Amino acid sequence: MSQATAFAPATVANVAVGFDCLGFAVEAPGDRVTVERVSGGGVEIASIEGVDADRLPLDPARNSASVGLVKMAADLGDGIGFRMRVRKGIPLSSGLGGSAASAVAAVVAANALLDPPLPRERLLDYALLGEQAASGSAHADNAAPCLYGGLVLVRAADPPEVVTLPVPASLRCVLVHPHARLDTRASRAALPPSVALADHVRQAARLAAFVAGCHRGDLALIARSLEDVLIEPHRAPLIHGFASVKRAALEAGALGCSISGSGPSVFALCDGDAAAERAHGAMLEAFARADERADGWISPIRSDGARIES
Amino acid sequence: MSQATAFAPATVANVAVGFDCLGFAVEAPGDRVTVERVSGGGVEIASIEGVDADRLPLDPARNSASVGLVKMAADLGDGIGFRMRVRKGIPLSSGLGGSAASAVAAVVAANALLDPPLPRERLLDYALLGEQAASGSAHADNAAPCLYGGLVLVRAADPPEVVTLPVPASLRCVLVHPHARLDTRASRAALPPSVALADHVRQAARLAAFVAGCHRGDLALIARSLEDVLIEPHRAPLIHGFASVKRAALEAGALGCSISGSGPSVFALCDGDAAAERAHGAMLEAFARADERADGWISPIRSDGARIES
């Protein structure tokens, strides 16, 4: 194979209950990266197309899509180099894991050109280098579900250890993306450095109950658990219209609704397609009432992660 | 029935990963309370026997075993009163949930004398009044597993909502109780009022992974998750010999080892009877080397909670 194209999906990190340790993959949107092997080592970004393409740097040392690949090429040695073309489907600074998706797609595509290929855990390490460059921290709650698919708990950060959780079959994710941008670093700067011990207990218990709910397929327990007392209160003011969008989702029957990753996108989890359609409509309408342009997606939790398309 | 005797088991709260929201019941030790109905309302403590009996007050308003029963009698009205005899099997201020056990045994025994009996959730509310009196806070992480049995996650504190988690069949608990006493309030005062956000994430992820491990029956995942970065470091210095006891348990093959409740008792979770015997011996030996008298118990996680014995 002389070149390979990989698709990597958008991901919802934090998932209300699991700040920096929980995330899941969706069907769409996603990023595509085509990689071909070149000799002489190094990485070249030949082109970036698609959503927000003009805002992304072609310098491979500065683009989160290529940072991991640069290290991978260096580690491989033997003059192995890569030329990559990026097609962005995930908006920039949207809270949908776009930097993780590009980084994952790049290393997955490059890996398909290796014989033998590297194990997936190594690919996660490389993809996380891109996350580090993009957001200043290397939490695997986007990159891991993007690479592996499914709903993923990051049990330990360094080295990353992930636990894939079972997902109730009827679970649907509604994503609504306001066109405002919110820089990951700014969104992180809004958070307090510490939390009250009692609030830690409340939030940890909710995360634990959410995990139990997923294992039991208990959507009512999942709904009761999907509450963020730590992070959402600090980030909600950064997202114009958030309170009314959340209220609209819950009134439309969503199991829960919170900020996707560091925002400004908002996700809701719903029981079944009809409920998801209702929440989707209500959330878009609420953003419209707040004079905020937005678009959205409905998707099951995607069970597989990044994949080779050609 | 004119009188009833209830047994209520010791419980291990916190369980390393779930401060104030996780607990389980063991087979032994436990407290027994015999209750008979008397007319004229109110509650009388006729006698307290057994371990540390001389240190407990006979005033029903001041004894955590009777505080809940006093409220229960008042709520029942109609001149319903109770006389109770307490036999303590759980040492005082040991971190083994003794105050919860006495309170639970009292309300369970009294409930057996009512027609119709109250639902179990109401009994939990009454038992928690005793916890509030004993420790200054009403976390259900002792009372709920004591009443319901099993490994229990307290999803929400007020009103208490509990989720019973599955327990791998081979799991055994080793309890080692040094004869030193550690007052619950003093143990709580050693804790910082807040925790770093990054430490919250680390601890919450471990709790979530522990819950996933229980559902999957994955003892290796349970072992990797049984780590307390928040509480144990602050309380360990209050327990003479703790570090060497923990090291001994882990070297003997325990899956994990930490402080039971607010201490000073130490628990270890083990895979099977033989591993539990090894850890038990090693932990007692380590306390002995630290010149600390101690005794211990080995038990499966008890699947049923408090029960009527006669």
Q: How far does the CA of residue B300 sit from the closest CA of chain A (Å)?
A: 21
How many other CB atoms are there within 10 angstroms of residue B50's CB atom?
15
Q: How far does the CA of residue A68 sit from the closest CA of chain B (Å)?
A: 24
Predicted pLDDT of residue B181: 82
pLDDT in tens, B148-193: 999 999 998 888 899 999 999 999 999 999 998 888 888 889 999 9
Compute the residue count for chain B.
Answer: 310
Burial of residue B28, with CB atoms counted within 10 A of its CB: 0-12 exposed, 13-18 middle, 19 or more buried: middle
* Distance from chain centroid for Cα A305: 11
Q: What is the DSSP string of A37-68?
A: EEESSEEEEEEEEETTGGGS---TTT-HHHHH
Tokens of B269: 């979770």
How far apart are the C-alpha atoms of B218 and B246, rounded to whole Å?
A: 22
Mean pLDDT of A150-172: 94
Most A CBs within 10 A among B201, B203, B222, hence the mutation to make, goes to: B201
Is residue B131 among the annotated active site residues?
yes
DSSP B55: G
CB neighbour list of residue B305: distance below 8 Å, 6 or more residues apart: B8, B9, B25, B104, B145, B146, B147, B148, B149, B150
Q: Three-class SS of residue B180?
A: coil
Looking at the predicted structure, is the pLDDT value of residue B135 above 80? no
User: Does the beta-carbon distance from B208 to A22 stay under 8 Å?
Assistant: yes
- Give contacts of A21 with chain B, Cβ < 8 Å: 201, 204-205, 208
- Give contacts of A153 with chain B, Cβ < 8 Å: 205, 208-209, 212
Residue A157's nearest CA partner among A18, A9, A258 is A18
Can you give the three-state secondary structure of B108-168, one letter per residue? HHHHCCCCCCCCHHHHHHHHHHHHHHHHCCCCCCCHHHHHHCCEEEEEECCCCEEEEECCC
The residues that bridge with A38 in the sheet, in sequence order, are A81
Q: Map out the domains of chain B as residue ranges.
A: 3-164, 171-300
Q: What is the DSSP string of A233-260?
A: HHHGGGSTTHHHHHHHHHHTT-SEEEE-
Compute the residue count for chain A.
Answer: 310
Mean pLDDT of A27-50: 95
Backbone φ and ψ for A52, nearest 5 degrees, come out as 60, 20
Looking at the predicted structure, is the pLDDT value of residue B136 above 80? no
Model's pTM, two decimal places? 0.96
Measured at the alpha carbon of residue B216, what is the angle toward residues B213 and B222, in degrees to the nearest 5? 20
Looking at the predicted structure, is the pLDDT value of residue B69 above 90? yes
Predicted pLDDT of residue A64: 85
How far apart are the C-alpha atoms of A157 and A213, rounded to whole Å?
A: 24
* Distance from chain centroid for Cα B107: 16
**Cβ–Cβ under 8 Å, residues B98 and B88:** yes
| Mean predicted lDDT score pLDDT of chain A | 94
Predicted pLDDT of residue A90: 96
**Cβ–Cβ under 8 Å, residues B302 and B188:** no
Location of structure tokens 């820089």: A183
How far apart are the C-alpha atoms of A280 and B47, rounded to whole Å?
A: 64
User: Does the beta-carbon distance from B207 to A206 stay under 8 Å?
Assistant: no
| Cis peptide bond prior to A237, omega within 30° of 0 | no
Query: CATH assignment of B3-164, given 3.30.420.40, 3.40.50.2300, 3.40.50.300, 3.30.230.10?
Result: 3.30.230.10
Dihedral sign for Cα A286, A289, A291, A294, please: positive
How far apart are the C-alpha atoms of B82 and B67, rounded to whole Å?
A: 12
pLDDT in tens, B260-308: 999 999 999 999 999 999 999 999 999 999 999 999 999 999 999 999 9
Predicted pLDDT of residue B130: 83
pLDDT in tens, A261-285: 999 999 999 999 999 999 999 999 9
Element (H, E) at B67: helix B64-76
**Cβ–Cβ under 8 Å, residues B191 and B299:** no
Element (H, E) at B43: strand B42-50
Q: Could you give the percent of chain A with pLDDT greater than 70?
A: 99
Catalytic residue among B34, B36, B184, B292: B184
> Which of A126-135, B97-106, B141-150 is predicted least confidently?
A126-135
Looking at the predicted structure, is the pLDDT value of residue A137 above 80? no
Number of A/B CB contacts below 8 angstroms equals: 129
Tokens of A48: 């970036």
pLDDT in tens, B202-219: 999 999 999 999 999 999
How far apart are the C-alpha atoms of A11 and A88, rounded to whole Å?
A: 14
Backbone φ and ψ for A130, nearest 5 degrees, come out as -65, -40
Predicted pLDDT of residue A141: 94
Q: Three-class SS of residue B278?
A: helix
Residue type, A229: V
How many other CB atoms are there within 10 angstroms of residue B179's CB atom?
12
C-alpha distance across the termini of chain B, in Å: 10
Interface of A with B (CB under 8 A): 18-22, 153-157, 161, 163, 165, 191-198, 200-212, 215-216, 221, 224-225, 230
Q: How far does the CA of residue B283 sit from the closest CA of chain A (Å)?
A: 28
**Cβ–Cβ under 8 Å, residues B193 and B175:** no
**Cβ–Cβ under 8 Å, residues B174 and B283:** yes
Residue A15's nearest CA partner among A124, A167, A135 is A167
How far apart are the C-alpha atoms of A291 and A285, rounded to whole Å?
A: 10
**Cβ–Cβ under 8 Å, residues B261 and B13:** yes
Mean pLDDT of A206-228: 98
DSSP A119: P
pLDDT band at B2 (very low <50, low <70, confident <90, very high): confident
* Distance from chain centroid for Cα A16: 13
How far apart are the C-alpha atoms of B226 and B239, rounded to whole Å?
A: 19
User: Does the beta-carbon distance from A208 to B207 stay under 8 Å?
Assistant: yes
Q: Which residue of A has its CA nearest to B21?
A: A205
- Give contacts of A211 with chain B, Cβ < 8 Å: 208, 211-212, 215
Q: How far does the CA of residue A116 sit from the closest CA of chain B (Å)?
A: 30
pLDDT in tens, B113-126: 999 999 998 999 99
Which residues of A are tagged catalytic? 131, 184
Predicted pLDDT of residue B133: 77
* C-alpha distance from residue B30 to each of B109, B161, B177, B191 (Å): 14, 24, 14, 28
Catalytic residue among B5, B11, B34, B131: B131
User: Does the beta-carbon distance from A153 to B205 stay under 8 Å?
Assistant: yes
ipTM: 0.95
CATH number of B171-300: 3.30.70.890
Backbone φ and ψ for A156, nearest 5 degrees, come out as -140, 145
DSSP B254: -
**Cβ–Cβ under 8 Å, residues A16 and A226:** yes
How far apart are the C-alpha atoms of B41 and B202, rounded to whole Å?
A: 51
pLDDT in tens, A172-181: 999 999 998 8
Q: Could you give the percent of chain B with pLDDT greater than 90?
A: 85
Tokens of B120: 């179990």
User: Does the beta-carbon distance from B221 to A192 stay under 8 Å?
Assistant: no
User: Does the beta-carbon distance from B205 to A19 stay under 8 Å?
Assistant: no
Looking at the predicted structure, is the pLDDT value of residue A133 above 80? no
**Cβ–Cβ under 8 Å, residues A283 and A268:** yes
Partner-chain residue, chosen from B196, B209, B216, that has the shortest CB–CB distance to A155: B209
